[in-house]
Amino acid sequence: MQNYYKNRAEEYEEIYLRDDPTRQEELRKLEELMKETLVNKKVLEIACGTGYWTRLLSETAQSIIATDKVQQVLEIAKEKQYLCPVSFHIEDAFKLSFKNASFNGGLANFWFSHVPREKIDCFLTNFHRVLQKKSEIFIADNVYIPSIGGELVIKKGDNNTYKRRKLKDGREYLILKNYYSFEDLLKIFSKHITGFSKDNIFYGNCFWCLTYELE
């Protein structure tokens, strides 16, 4: 996974430029909801990548600590211009180094699908640990579209799914990519958030997102 994103860094943001009206409309909706949810917050961002969402969120957040495990994508992110204080850190999303209750906003866009199913509870527990009570959280990711996404690869004895991804230079990678239905998301997050309901979920044709307040 790290090698894939390291080598894809320069071409990563092209995925947001696809000429698809439905896709573009939903991306705008995600942006709007994210900015509204995390307005004036001290945000911890998980898997910031090249800073695409970091830059947009900087228009409304108070400050952002943007994290990733891949140095190459962080170098690209650092070159962007931001409208609030932003700092970048190399972090393991499953072993965050920050103290408990360090932030009052959390962001994880297009990361959840890369979390092994058996590590979801570990990730959410660790993510929530570094957030204060009443923190606002925004998480977004892809809806599976067979006509665009291609065939999912299934490994025997593995509960996760995988996708084949090819870079412009021809290199091909098999990466972990899990997709979730509306019902899946409701079940997963209800385990961690009291009162989590269908009202916390937007589920579109191309993307889904969650907004919720930490207890």
* CA 212 vs CA 41, 139, 193: distances in Å: 14, 9, 8
Among 64, 63, 61, 29, CA closest to 46:
64
For the chain (215 residues), the mean pLDDT of every run of 10, in chain order, is 57 74 96 98 96 97 97 93 98 97 98 97 97 98 83 91 82 90 98 95 97 94
Q: Please give the domain boundaries of the chain with CATH numbers for all domains.
A: 2-147+181-213 (3.40.50.150)
The per-residue pLDDT for 9 is: 55
Residues 6+ apart with CB under 8 A from 128: 106, 192, 214
pLDDT of residue 7: 54
User: What pLDDT score was predicted for residue 180?
Assistant: 97
Provide the pLDDT for residue 25.
97
Rounded distance between C-alpha atoms, residue 106 and residue 101, angstroms: 11
Which pLDDT score, from 0 to 100, does residue 5 have?
Answer: 58
pLDDT at 34: 98
